[in-house]
A and B are shown apart, each in its own frame.
Chain A
Amino acid sequence: MPEYNSNDPYAVDIDKRISDIQSAMHERDIDVYLGSRIRTMSFITDAFVPWRSYIVIPAEGLPTIFTFVIDCARLLSETWMDEDHVRGYFGAGGAEQIDTIQYFIEEELDIKKGRLGYETGMATYTAEGWLTHYEFERFSEALPGFEFINAHDIVDGASLIKDEGTINRFREAGRIVDAGQRAAREAIENGGWKGMTETELGGIAALAMRREGSVSEWNFAGLNEISSGWRTGLGACTPPTTKEFAAGEALMFDLHAMFKLALGDHSHNYLLTPATERQRWHADNFVACVQFVADSYRAGTTPGDLITECGKFAEERGCADFILPGVEHGIGLFGDEWRVGASMDVPIPYWTDPDHVYQENEMVILAMQYAAAEDDVGFRYENPIVIKKDGCELTSKYPLAIEEIS
């Protein structure tokens, strides 16, 4: 177990993370936990685990990760775990995923029967890492003495409130994203946007952020997400296309960075000249609504409260028809980027609980979308925030504005 170094601003308490999970396992009488989601690997190994992996957590003792054997040495060099707890699987007799883990649980941990926690559910992005139907069936056959219990909310609950080291990592990821935004702006100003595609701009920003210390633009999502023109009118800022920027269009630059698994995420918007009065009106509405929501976040509020208040504010400005419902999404370490909260008892399973009560040092992405499809214009704002007692801290410091670029 790594020593917690209080002098390291980015230190995280791995011991506490594991003991929190094991305490919850004891409460539910779970003998062994089989994690398969990316976010679970990130939270426990404190390392980048991009290949399909599984982590076995006994009720007592250290966890062991199983990853594709070709990445074992790299993972071993980055995680706190030792060689005995970083295992590989490979397409060979006794060494493939199911055989390896079955043998490990039954023969090395000597747990032949009991309750096995695993991770299943749904999400908006493919690479969440839920145990597949095939894997579930194979593990069930290989471990006949076990009752399989869906228990991913154990890890979700343990990772909800961020410690100081984690928050500092997000602050640094925010600084890196801001460097990406500055590079993006420099690339498009003074006519630089002419002939430039969304994908090219995504690459320019990626290089700038890598030079500042980012290691990924989030390969579990759409990398840097850039849109322009008609697609902004849908409020969408999904993966970039080869479309070229054009005069009179709106631009959305949603940049992703990663620093020590903390996810930097800031979406900034521009209007390419000449901007119409109608575009400017939409832009000013959006900036005002984002500012209103940023000023409203604090411990004790709920997603339901915030969307209601934002709706009233937008109504007063006459732009309620253009604000898409929702002012946030969840955020955590690499692989954790969707619903708010950890409870499985929510009105719409695997979506944000509107009644979730925010606590201090919880983090979410302040995320808002504005869609004026008939005017082919829209905007998106994203910024990871730290919930405070009386407000919130924005991790990206890039100024909130929608500038006109010529």
Chain B
Amino acid sequence: MANFLYLSPEWAEEGHKRAVAELTPEKLHHVTSSMTNIYKNCPDGKEHYFHVAFEDGKVKAFETGEGEGPKGEFKIIADYETFAKISRAELGAVRALTSRKLTLRGNMAKALRLAPLVDKLNKILAGIPTDF
């Protein structure tokens, strides 16, 4: 099977499919929240986004695209390379946050509470064969 191009529509479709299949409302503690990652300094010179939203633990939105994307409860901003390193498990998200490589916008206390759920999603996305 060929690899998916990171952040491409095909990558998003595969991620969406896997998230719906593997993340049940129970596993997600029926969370209602949303997050938009904004990728700066992408290889194509443009800004890209990855947006995901959950309602009562169900995946309601899962998309990528150019620009800032839909508004989420949390906004996470970083260079493309930083997100790529996190996705490849070469850089921890906390290390990226505390070294200011990654900027979090939104309710920090709530973000910390939801962090384990985001980890579950990241593990699923890390399983997608991806070309960065």
Pick from B98, B103, B112: contact of A91, CB below 8 A. Answer: B98
Is B109 located at the chain interface by the 8 A CB criterion?
A: yes
B107 and A93 form a contact (CB under 8 A)? no
Pick from A72, A76, A94, A107: contact of B103, CB below 8 A. Answer: A94
How far does the alpha carbon of A87 sit from the alpha carbon of B110 in the complex, in Å? 8
How far does the alpha carbon of A163 sit from the alpha carbon of B98 in the complex, in Å? 45
Query: Residues of A contacting B111 with CB < 8 Å?
Result: 95
Q: Which chain B residue has the least Cβ–Cβ distance from A89?
A: B108
Max count, chain A CB within 10 A of own CB: residue among B94, B103, B107, B109: B109
How far does the alpha carbon of A76 sit from the alpha carbon of B113 in the complex, in Å? 13
Do A83 and B110 contact each other (CB < 8 Å), given the known contacts A93-B97, A95-B97? yes
A69 and B109 form a contact (CB under 8 A)? yes
Q: Which chain B residue has the least Cβ–Cβ distance from A67?
A: B109
Pick from B94, B98, B108: contact of A87, CB below 8 A. Answer: B108
Query: Residues of B contacting A93 with CB < 8 Å?
Result: 96-104
Max count, chain A CB within 10 A of own CB: residue among B77, B100, B108: B108
Do A103 and B105 contact each other (CB < 8 Å), given the known contacts A92-B98, A93-B100, A94-B77? yes
B109 and A73 form a contact (CB under 8 A)? yes
How far does the alpha carbon of A72 sit from the alpha carbon of B111 in the complex, in Å? 12
Query: Residues of B contacting A83 with CB < 8 Å?
Result: 107, 109-110
How far does the alpha carbon of A76 sit from the alpha carbon of B99 in the complex, in Å? 28
Q: Which chain B residue has the least Cβ–Cβ distance from A87?
A: B107
Is A90 located at the chain interface by the 8 A CB criterion?
A: yes
Query: Residues of B contacting A76 with CB < 8 Å?
Result: 109
How far does the alpha carbon of A90 sit from the alpha carbon of B107 in the complex, in Å? 11
Question: Which residues A72-100 have CB closer than 8 A to chain B?
Answer: 72-73, 76, 83-84, 86-95, 99-100
How far does the alpha carbon of A86 sit from the alpha carbon of B107 in the complex, in Å? 8
How far does the alpha carbon of A102 sit from the alpha carbon of B107 in the complex, in Å? 13
A88 and B105 form a contact (CB under 8 A)? no
How far does the alpha carbon of A99 sit from the alpha carbon of B103 in the complex, in Å? 10
How far does the alpha carbon of A84 sit from the alpha carbon of B32 in the complex, in Å? 13
Query: Residues of A contacting B104 with CB < 8 Å?
Result: 92-95
How far does the alpha carbon of A147 sit from the alpha carbon of B87 in the complex, in Å? 43
Question: Which residues A2-51 have CB closer than 8 A to chain B?
Answer: none
Query: Residues of B contacting A69 with CB < 8 Å?
Result: 108-109, 112
In the complex, how many angstroms separate the beta carbon of B15 from the nearest chain A beta carbon?
24
B109 and A87 form a contact (CB under 8 A)? yes
Max count, chain A CB within 10 A of own CB: residue among B77, B96, B103, B105: B105
Query: Residues of B contacting A94 with CB < 8 Å?
Result: 77, 102-105
In the complex, how many angstroms separate the beta carbon of B80 from the nearest chain A beta carbon?
16
Question: Which residues B16-53 have CB closer than 8 A to chain A?
Answer: none
0 or 1 for each of A58-80: is its CB under 8 Å from B? (1 = yes)? 00000000000100110010000
Q: Which chain B residue has the least Cβ–Cβ distance from A85?
A: B107
Q: Which chain A residue has the least Cβ–Cβ distance from B100?
A: A93
Max count, chain A CB within 10 A of own CB: residue among B77, B99, B112: B112
B109 and A72 form a contact (CB under 8 A)? yes
Query: Residues of A contacting B101 with CB < 8 Å?
Result: 93
How far does the alpha carbon of A99 sit from the alpha carbon of B77 in the complex, in Å? 13
B107 and A84 form a contact (CB under 8 A)? yes
Q: Which chain A residue has the least Cβ–Cβ distance from B74?
A: A94
Q: Which chain B residue has the least Cβ–Cβ distance from A71?
A: B109
Pick from A86, A99, A103: contact of B109, CB below 8 A. Answer: A86
Q: Which chain A residue has the least Cβ–Cβ distance from B103?
A: A94
0 or 1 for each of B74-104: is its CB under 8 Å from A? (1 = yes)? 0001000000000000000010111111111
In the complex, how many angstroms separate the beta carbon of A333 from the nearest chain B beta carbon?
24
Query: Residues of B contacting A99 with CB < 8 Å?
Result: 103
How far does the alpha carbon of A73 sit from the alpha carbon of B110 in the complex, in Å? 9
Query: Residues of A contacting B99 with CB < 8 Å?
Result: 93
How far does the alpha carbon of A90 sit from the alpha carbon of B102 in the complex, in Å? 13
Query: Residues of A contacting B96 with CB < 8 Å?
Result: 93
How far does the alpha carbon of A1 sit from the alpha carbon of B97 in the complex, in Å? 34
How far does the alpha carbon of A73 sit from the alpha carbon of B112 in the complex, in Å? 11
Q: Which chain A residue has the least Cβ–Cβ distance from B77?
A: A94
Query: Residues of B contacting A87 with CB < 8 Å?
Result: 107-110
In the complex, how many angstroms separate the beta carbon of B69 from the nearest chain A beta carbon?
15
How far does the alpha carbon of A83 sit from the alpha carbon of B110 in the complex, in Å? 7
Q: Which 3 A-B pairs have the closest CB atoms?
A: A94-B103, A88-B109, A72-B109
Supply 9 further A-B pairs (C-beta < 8 A) apart from A93-B101, A99-B103.
A69-B112, A84-B110, A87-B109, A90-B108, A90-B112, A92-B94, A93-B97, A93-B104, A95-B104
15 sampled A-B residue pairs with Cβ under 8 A:
A86-B109, A87-B109, A88-B107, A88-B112, A91-B98, A92-B97, A92-B98, A92-B108, A93-B96, A94-B102, A94-B104, A94-B105, A95-B108, A99-B103, A100-B108
